[in-house]
Amino acid sequence: MNQPVTVSRDADVAVITLDNPPVNALSFHLRAPLMTALETLRDDDTVKAMVLTCAGRTFVAGADITEFGKPMQRPDLRDLIATLEKIEKPTVAAIHGTALGGGLELALGCHFRVAVKEARLGLPEVKLGLLPGAGGTVRLPYILGPRKALKVIVSGTPIGAGEALQGGLVDALHDGELVANAVAFARAKVAEGGPFKAVRDRRERIEEADLAAFDADAAELAKKARGLEAPVACAQSVRNAITLPFDEALAKERDFFVHLVSGEQSRAQRHLFFAEREAAKVAGVGKDVKPREIRRAGIIGAGTMGGGIAMSFVNGGIPVTLLEMSKEALDRGLATIEKNYAISVSRGSLAEDAKTKRMAMFTGTTDYADLADCDIIIEAVFEDMDVKKDVFGKLDKIAKAGAILASNTSYLDVDQIAAITARPQDVVGLHFFSPANVMKLLEIVRGKKTAPDVLATALAVAKRIAKVPVVVGVCHGFVGNRMLAARSADSEDLLLEGASPAEVDKSFTDFGWPMGPFQMADLAGLDIGWRNRKSLGKTAAIADPLCEQGRFGQKTGKGYYLYENGRTPKNDPEVEKLIEEKARERGIERREISAEEITERSLYPMINEGARILEEGIAARASDIDIVWVNGYGFPVGKGGPMFWAEAHGLKKIVERLDHWHTRTGKAVFEPAPLLRRLAASGGSFAELREAAA
């Protein structure tokens, strides 16, 4: 192992290099020698200035997250920053890669920061259910001003070095030779002469702060927090930076941190951080498996789904050939894409010339032969096995050797689709979620014959186009939609037995979901499910008569709810009447249904199905299921995903209540999965399962 801290000298400037792969996290084994180095160099009169830099791919990416929840060994990061800040000779952080969280806080302990142009700086703690706990919510407002700092802290999204320079967070940018330039910068500062002001003494931006405007921003933000504690604590802490003396604000920030780090939400969000990284590790796809090169993608279908997928590729820098059946459909698809980009331009999130560049990356066609030079081809056509087989038959004839052939199916058997081709090893499912240019989740469906390098390519492409990938096995509906079906299996009975759509939906939004199942159904359109049911000879007690009345949801202004002005749902007495009538026809006596019962009859079956998915090996780990649900279906991040939540909630209780509802309704979705029953009985956890398999 390399030395985590080394000190070298460039004449009278000392260079401290941190080296703690992979991301230079501030683990104890780095903090201790760093403290020694700082104290030694501080007291060494031959040292006139100090540069703090990092080896490897990045500047410090934060505290070591694995140390959270354990007793913190001293020196902690605050000790280091306090020591650094008191040094009277000029101190310069030299930043490349990402300076994140504790990394940026450490850099804020220096008098100056210089960076390469590609560097990014941010405080992503909010994404871990935390606030920056080593002065970030106080020092950043001192530099950027409180309103700008609040934005950076609460979004958790890093800013580029250019923006950091403009805001004064970075003092100089360099093209390369970072350390040499940082040394020259430090030497120039020595020549200018001190005293050098620590960030804590630079109060100008605080004194000119507009507290009323800040409070308005913070109030706006609190509305969007949807039950998450961290963003609210961040805002309160930044406010303290304005209203309190520096050290008091710092002490209060610490209190917030201590409270949040031991809370359920942060534990859940830290679980998701590691779960996302775990999901990218796939059995049989080791580091030795090299992904295929992807220079151009072909997308079949320019409808909502195909268009969204095409935009994702172009946004990730991969040119797209977009195929439609007719010139009219193609033009319509391209016009929608252009309109979507125009909306981004009008919101200020995309520059006009970037929009022009992106539009130039689309090539439209109605001829399959034009897909011959694509390295990956994804079909997003009608969800019907015969239609899919027809498309794959055509692709097999025209696609170049080694091209990846992918289906965006949300339910169908990828092995059957692959079998129509002479190259099943090149076939994979890539299940995007609508709107595909926005939603993060990508279910990568591994067929029986899918080659390891095809999976490696799918994972690499997902990263390029900013998706969160999870590899799943073949089954009806894969992980997400299969569990969604279990979640809604009892919904109509809840209505018939006495709940209103609004009561069911409210229990979901109170739990933290962005919307409930009936609002969601109205948004997606009730006609799709109706058509499916008819083709399968199935019926639904409430949804069918709604559709027969032309109530397809938001698009017709009526569904489970009434939409008198656009998207706001309103209770509709006619729906209530319909539900009562259908209950009467079935001899059901309606009663009051509690929020707890709604949870038991919707979330528990979904978790039960998750356990079956694990038993069957459709998902490799419970945490993969969590990633699917948080990124594809709006499961509240502060609860860590359904399987994480289930464990915290108590598997024993879940099994007991599933048994209860199974006895009462006889429905298979309530019959506890053997795995769930076993873990509940033994007091075991899903994580142990994974360890046993490893």
Q: In what order do the strands lie in the sheet with 159-160?
A: 98-100, 120-122, 159-160
Euclidean distance between CA atoms 122 and 110, whole angstroms: 16
Interaction mask 647-666, ligand CAA, x per CB under 6 A: --------------------
Strand, coil or helix: 203: coil
From the list 90, 109, 132, 516, which residue makes contact with ligand CAA (rule: CB under 6 A)?
132
Does residue 75 interact with ligand CAA by CB under 6 A? no
Q: Which of 85, 105, 276, 497 is catalytic?
A: 105
**Helix axis angle, 595-615 relative to 622-632, nearest 10°?**
130
Binding mask 436-475 for ligand CAA (x = CB under 6 A): ----------------------------------------
Give exposure, 496-528, as e/b (b: 16+ Cβ within 10 Å).
Answer: bbbbbbbbbbebbeebbbeebbbbbbbebbbbe
> Look-up: residue for tokens 């003494």?
201
Which structure tokens are listed for 177? 């030779």
Q: Which CB, 132 or 640, lies closer to ligand CAA?
A: 132
Which region among 84-92, 132-140, 384-392, 559-567 touches ligand CAA (by CB under 6 A)?
132-140
The binder of ligand CAA chosen from 1, 22, 347, 587 (CB under 6 A): 22
- Give the H or E element holding residue 620: none
For residue 60, the tally of other CB atoms under 10 A from its CB is: 28
Q: How far is the CB of 691 from ligand CAA (least distance, A)?
A: 15
77 binds ligand CAA (CB under 6 A): yes
- Pick the binder of ligand CAA from 17, 20, 91, 98 (CB under 6 A): 98
| Sign of the CA dihedral with 293 first, then 299, 300, and 304 last | positive
Among 100, 126, 404, 521, binds ligand CAA (CB under 6 A): 100
Q: Residues 647, 649, 650, 654: is their CA dihedral positive or negative?
A: negative
- By CB under 6 A, residue 125 contacts ligand CAA: yes
64 touches ligand CAA (CB under 6 A): yes
Closest approach, Cβ 178 to ligand CAA, in A, equals 17
Residue tagged active-site, from 125, 324, 379, 600: 125
Among 5, 37, 54, 63, binds ligand CAA (CB under 6 A): 63
- Six-digit token pair at 390? 């027809």
Measured in degrees and rounded to the nearest 5, phi and psi for residue 73 equal -85, 140
When the beta carbons of 136 and 477 are compared against ligand CAA, the nearer one is 136
Question: Among all chains, which residue has been given the structure tokens 């459709």?
Answer: 618
Considering the rule CB under 6 A, would residue 277 count as an interface residue with ligand CAA?
A: yes
β-strands 404-407, 376-379 pairing: parallel
The torsion angle over the Cα atoms of residues 36, 40, 43 and 44, rounded to 10 degrees, is -170
Separation of alpha carbons 694 and 690, rounded Å: 6
Assigned token pair, 14: 């000392």
Q: Near ligand CAA by CB under 6 A, which window of 93-101, 194-202, 578-586, 593-601?
A: 93-101
Q: How far is the CB of 254 from ligand CAA (least distance, A)?
A: 10
Whole-angstrom distance, CA of residue 28 vs CA of residue 64? 8
Per CB under 6 A, does 145 bind ligand CAA?
no
For residue 588, give every residue at least 6 positions away whose Cβ sits within 8 Å of its Cβ, in sequence order, or none.
496, 497
Q: Tell me, yes or no, if 105 is annotated catalytic.
A: yes
- The whole-angstrom separation of Cα 486 and Cα 673 is 13
Closest by CA position to 614, among listed 497, 419, 473, 467: 473
Q: Which range of residues in 3-11, 123-131, 373-381, 550-558 is near ligand CAA by CB under 6 A?
A: 123-131
Per CB under 6 A, 149 contacts ligand CAA: no
Q: Which of 124, 298, 308, 469 binds ligand CAA (CB under 6 A)?
A: 124
Q: Does 4 interact with ligand CAA (rule: CB under 6 A)?
A: no
Taking the complex as a whole, how short is the minimal distance between the CB of residue 693 and ligand CAA, in angstroms? 18
Can residue 636 be called a binding residue for ligand CAA (CB under 6 A)?
A: no
Q: Under DSSP, is residue 79 helix (H, G, I), strand (E, B) or coil?
A: helix
**What is the closest distance, in whole angstroms, from the C-beta atom of residue 20 to ligand CAA in the complex?**
10
Query: How many residues can be counted in the chain?
Result: 694
**25 in contact with ligand CAA (CB under 6 A):** yes
- Residue from 16, 18, 23, 47 touching ligand CAA (CB under 6 A): that is 23
Nearest distance from C-beta of residue 432 to ligand CAA, angstroms: 21
Phi and psi, residue 363, nearest 5°:
-120, 120
Considering the complex, what minimum distance in angstroms separates the CB of residue 100 from ligand CAA? Answer: 4
* Residue 128 in contact with ligand CAA, rule: CB under 6 A: yes
Distance CA 252, CA 259 (A): 11
The answer to whether 338 is a known catalytic residue is no
Of residues 230 and 575, the one with the C-beta less far from ligand CAA: 230
Show the tokens assigned to 553.
Answer: 């949801």
Specify whether the CB–CB gap between 62 and 101 falls below 8 A: yes
The helix or strand, by DSSP H or E, that contains position 322, with its residue range, turns out to be strand 320-323
Q: Where are the alpha helices (DSSP H) in 537-641?
A: 543-548, 573-585, 595-615, 622-632
66 makes contact with ligand CAA (CB under 6 A)? yes
The interface region with ligand CAA, picked from 22-30, 527-535, 577-585, 676-684 by CB under 6 A, is: 22-30
Binding mask 33-62 for ligand CAA (x = CB under 6 A): -------------------------x--xx
Closer residue to ligand CAA in complex, CB, 133/569: 133
Q: Which stretch binds ligand CAA (CB under 6 A): 17-25, 469-477, 484-492, 560-568?
A: 17-25
Cβ of residue 120: shortest distance to ligand CAA, in angstroms? 8
Token pair of 224, please?
């969007």
Q: Toward ligand CAA, which CB reaches closer, 80 or 311?
A: 80
Cβ closest to ligand CAA, residue 127 vs residue 292: 127
Which contacts of 521-524 are long-range, i.e. CB under 8 A and separated by 24 or more positions? 521/553, 521/559, 521/560, 522/553, 522/554, 522/559, 522/560, 522/561, 522/563, 522/569, 523/553, 523/554, 524/553
Q: Decide whether 120 or 601 has the Cβ nearer to ligand CAA.
A: 120
The verdict on 133 binding ligand CAA (CB under 6 A) reads yes
* 3-state SS, residue 2: coil
CB of 105 to ligand CAA, least distance (A): 6
Q: Could you tell me how far CA 485 lies from the centroid of its own chain?
A: 23
**What is the rounded CA–CA span in Å between residue 192 and residue 194?**
7
Residue closer to ligand CAA by CB (options 139, 431) is: 139
In a 10 Å sphere around its CB, with 0-12 CB exposed, 13-18 middle and 19+ buried, how is residue 568 labelled?
exposed
Q: Does 65 bind ligand CAA (CB under 6 A)?
A: yes
Query: How many of the chain's residues bind ligand CAA (CB under 6 A)?
Result: 26
Closer CB to ligand CAA, residue 441 or residue 546? 441
Cβ proximity to ligand CAA, 277 vs 327, nearer residue: 277
Given its phi and psi angles, is residue 538 left (phi above 0), alpha (psi -120 to 50 degrees) or beta?
beta
Catalytic residues: 105, 125
Q: Which residues bind ligand CAA (CB under 6 A)?
A: 22-23, 25, 58, 61-66, 77, 98, 100-102, 105, 124-125, 128, 130, 132-134, 136, 274, 277
